[in-house]
Amino acid sequence: MEVLHIVGDDDIPEVTFDKSKELFEISGRSVPEDVMQFYKPILKWLDEYSSDPLEKTVFNFKMEYYNTSSSKLLLDILFKLEDIYKSGHQVLVRWYYPQNDGDIEDGGKDYFDLVKVPHEIIANIPVTVSENDAEDIVSQPSVEEQKSNNSEQPSTKVEEPQKKLYCPFCGSEKFEKVVSSNNSFADKIAGMFKSIIGSKDNTPESQEYKCLLCEKTFRE
C-alpha cells in the first residue's frame, strides 16, 4: 500500500499511515474548514487497509484539540479499527492526551464506551508552548540562577513606617521633643537603683514631647 502522509498545521492534524513500517498515527489539532473533505482520503485508506491488515495494528491518536465536527470522523476511524479487531486481528488503540487536559482524556473514555477495541489512555503529550511563551521562558532565570543572584545581592532591611503620633489631650499633630537633662533628683535615684541591682533592661526610655497647641507634655 502507498503511504498516506498529511503534513499538519494549526487547523489540520498530522497523519501518517505506513503499513510497511507498522506506523499509524494522527496527531495535532483538527479544526478543518471542510471536515468531510479532509477525512475522506483517511477513511478510504483505512477501508483498503482493512481488507489486508497486519497481524497486529497499533494505532496512535495524539490529539491536542478537535472540534465537534472532527469528533464524528474520529469515531468513524475507531469503528473501522473495531471492524479489523472483530475480523480476528490484533488491534491496540493508544489514545494520548495533553497533560492536565481533562476534555481530551474524557473524550477518549467516551469513545471507548462506544467502540469495543483494546485500548490505552495515556497522558504524555507536553503542553504546546507558543513563540511568545517560549521567549518569556528563555528570558526567565533558572532556579539555580535565581539562587545565585539572591546570594550575591545584599539583603535589604525593610523598615516599618514610623507610628503616627498625636497629642493625647487635643489630638494635634504638632509637637516638639523635650530634651531631658536627666539631672533631676528622681532621675539620679533611679539611675543609682538600676546600677545597684544590675538591671538588664535595654528597653529605651520613652521620648517626651510637648504639644505646640495646648502646650501639654506627653510620652510615646
Q: For residue 62, is pLDDT > 80?
A: yes
Q: Which CATH class is domain 4-128?
A: alpha beta
- In the sheet with 208-211, reading across from the earlier edge strand, the strands are 175-177, 208-211, 217-219
| Closest of 74, 61, 75 to residue 27, by C-alpha | 61
CATH 3.30.750 residue spans of the chain: 4-128
| Closest of 61, 67, 52 to residue 25, by C-alpha | 61
Is-above-0.75 flag for pTM? no
Per DSSP, the three-state class of 185 is helix
Give residue 106's pLDDT band: very low, low, confident or very high (50, 70, 90). Answer: very high
173 Cβ neighbours under 8 A, 6+ residues apart: 164, 165, 166, 167
Q: How confident is the prediction for the chain on average, in pLDDT?
A: 77
Signed CA dihedral, 21, 26, 28, 33: sign only: positive
Q: For residue 44, is pLDDT > 90?
A: yes
